[in-house]
Chain A
Amino acid sequence: MKHKSTIVWLQGLTCNGNSHSFLNYPQMPSFASSFEMIYHPLICGAQSFSTVLESNEHFDFLIIEGALSHDERLLQRFGIPFYEILDNFAKRAKHIICAGSCASFGGIFRLRDPEKITGALFSGKEKGGYWLEKSNVVNIPGCPLHPRWLVETLFALRDRDTLLLDEFLRPKEVFAYLAHHGCLRNEYFEWKVDSKQLGEKEGCLFYEHGCQGPMSHANCNKILWNGVSSKTRAGSPCLGCTEFDFPRRALFETQKNMSLPQTPFGISKRAYYTVAGVAKSFKIERLEKKLIDENH
């Protein structure tokens, strides 16, 4: 039997959301048979923080949750400047995983001081975050990340030599998809039927309610959250939480230019507006009605 891969989990400026999301991993016994949590700030790990800090032992994965800073007035842990802890741990880790948008890009907390608060290798879109360069970092953004994204990445790095990453160092198996894929409102998107108002199953949230699904890379509508749903399935727009610019301003509004919304990812503006105009000209009765109509 293969030996268990070892994990040390470290928190920067965080809400702990990624830790709690991870605790929703449905096959936890299977995870635990392959990985050993040496240290986690919330869950009793095998060792105390000071034992890990003082030891020189190497471990397989350093998971970082939360935004990072070199400024000890902004970030310290256990009364120690955070950079001392992080640099110590980073040297001893085979892989570094940024769990969530804060560790990946700086996330929400970066907004308070974008100069001093960043992600590990990125500050928003810009390269150069806490570190200028580092070759063993994988970003798994999301606010929070989905527990499967984390566990499946850990297994991939443990059992395979290569993990395909996109330009933001995100695993392609997760982030090649858009949140739009698997959205139950896709047909309304195709035929340009707006959601008239919130609180209904019908209509697309892209045109009026700020939905970022067609621009946000993630497979959440494919694997679903908590195994059963997603923001768009619960009638709420995708907030684009896996992207470097999360959170955008006016999250529940669609920003428009000459009354036209932003174009979906990877499509030229002109082509999109032409096709959209044609699609909108169809009046599809089925899509204008309630999905479940008691009278028919």
Chain B
Amino acid sequence: MKITKEIIERIEGEATLELEWDNEQVTFAKIKFFNYRGIEEILKKRPLLDALALTPRVCGICSHSHAIASVLAIESIFENQGESLHVSQKANDIREIALNAEKIHNHIKWYFFSILPELKRVADPTYHGNAYKEKQWFQAQNAIMESLKMGAHFTGQWPHGSFVMAGGVTCDPLQSDVVSAIGCLDSVISFCEEHFYGMPLEEFLSFDSALQVMSVPSALSYGIDEMLKQGFDRLGRSYDRFLALGKSYMYEGSLKASKTAVLGADVKYVQESLEHTFFEDKHKGYTYSKSAQYKKSYCEVGPLARLMVAKEPLMRDFHRRFKDAALTRVVARAVECAHLIARTKQLLSKLNLKEPSFYPPKKDIHSLSGEGVGIIEAPRGTLIHQVDVRNGVIELYNIITPTVWNLGNGNRENPSTAQKAIIGLNSFTKADFILKSFDVCSVCTTQ
């Protein structure tokens, strides 16, 4: 048996992929994350609201996501202690706009900065990437910036804005902010129509067949062609099991899907495991990434999971053809991006600025004791914050990130989602791409 170890670069942070080979085929994979920072430990014994400022620092690419998960966790403590906080529709809409800004930016950044160069590199190993060299890179960078600027009208800044508070949001925007934010979003739409989808957004969103997407020249159809050439329409398949515990306008409640069958889900069945980590065994452990399971099963989280539980017609067609292959996973981010843009435009145009931004809780936060959970759908999938507080001071803070769902480590008998997708491959290059198809975030994982 041959074992190879390779560092995975150009992801958020860095990972090592250790592959076991037999007859030129991968028989098992270990996904290792290092450089642990310990935000959960740092939060212990600090005042509860500090979590709103510190958890965004878990990750420079999904800081709003952590802020929102954190505020939901705090609000749920109030709820569990008998005070149901009133959060206005306006505040909820602003939270969703901010979260969408982050997701839209993430998906464009990932596709144009990571996936396209990776596909070119798979085809031509001498290719060094497109950063600063190609016009489209600058156009994508501009679209990313505009998406974040749209959100910054409400969040003050990105990354690491702190605009949420238990009971609402802190901003009190004017109509002029909304007009300017819509202007930013419109320039993101122009970029996507011209480059990403090659057609008007509305037309793209009306599709229910993969062939319709593939027939129009665009960055997306180019990527699909390249993935078909490399066989990524068959490679990278995992359990075909999906989970989306956070809320979305596209579906009701928390859901899971096994292939195309969708059922209700509940966070109480989530289990986090320390197996294979340095936390459990300093010597035998090999990663800082915990792993998460739902009813003892590994499930995929992220855009593909969200669109599968939402029974989105276009994604269903891709899935009918390619199952949960790498290609389907990549396309899901592009499809979700289109939906998010349309949804955000709608939210901005109907935002009711007359409502209050914030209703202060009656209970003094310094007297608050109890437990709370905040669950949201972050760019890469379900993100859970759990907090236990005594007299306003954090006793325990636990974060379950999307990467932990997709890229934690299971065993040979029961490999995790990404491990399952990698086992059976015949080259490192392919394994590297499959791993990246999950939009790996090492910094979130080793928070």
Residues of A within 8 A of B (CB): 11, 13-21, 23-24, 26, 28-29, 32, 36-37, 40-49, 75-79, 108-109, 111-112, 143-144, 197-201, 220, 225-236, 239, 241, 247, 249-253, 292
Contacts and interface: CB of A to CB of B under 8 A. Distances in A.
A234 B54 contact: no
B138 A112 contact: no
B34 interface: yes
Nearest to B165: A198
A243 to B, nearest CB: 14
Given A108-B42, A197-B358, A20 B170 contact: no
B10 interface: yes
B130 A239 contact: no
Contact of A75 (B35, B171, B180): B35
B57 interface: yes
A237 B132 CA distance: 36
A46 B129 CA distance: 8
- Chief secondary structure at chain B's binding surface: mixed
- Chief secondary structure at chain A's binding surface: loop
B171 A199 contact: yes
Contacts of A78: 7, 14
B53 A229 contact: no
B162 A236 contact: yes
Contact of A251 (B50, B117, B356): B50
A14 B39 CA distance: 11
B168 interface: yes
B131 interface: yes
Contacts of B60: 14-21, 144
A16 B443 contact: yes
Interface residues of B, number: 71
Interface string B156-197: 111111110100111110100000100000000000000000
Q: Which 10 A-B pairs have the closest CB atoms?
A: A44-B129, A199-B358, A234-B156, A17-B60, A225-B157, A199-B357, A235-B170, A226-B152, A16-B60, A112-B38
Contacts of B156: 225, 229-236
A79 B7 contact: yes
Nearest to B16: A79
B208 interface: no
Nearest to B447: A15
Contact of B57 (A17, A28, A76, A77): A17
Nearest to B148: A226
A19 B356 CA distance: 35
Given A24-B145, A44-B10, A144-B60, A235 B129 contact: no
Given A111-B42, A250-B47, A226 B157 contact: yes
Nearest to B118: A44
Interface of B: 5, 7, 9-14, 16, 34-35, 37-39, 41-42, 46-47, 49-50, 52-54, 57-61, 63, 91, 109, 113, 117, 128-132, 138, 141-142, 144-145, 148-149, 151-163, 165, 168-172, 174, 180, 356-358, 360, 443
A29 B165 CA distance: 38
Given A44-B10, A44-B113, A229-B157, 20 more contacts: A15-B63, A16-B13, A16-B61, A21-B60, A24-B145, A24-B158, A28-B142, A42-B113, A43-B10, A79-B16, A112-B42, A197-B360, A225-B152, A235-B163, A235-B172, A235-B357, A236-B162, A251-B50, A252-B52, A253-B49
22 contacts: A15-B37, A16-B61, A17-B159, A18-B60, A32-B138, A40-B131, A45-B131, A47-B128, A78-B14, A79-B7, A108-B54, A143-B160, A198-B360, A199-B172, A226-B148, A226-B151, A234-B170, A235-B169, A235-B171, A251-B53, A252-B49, A252-B53
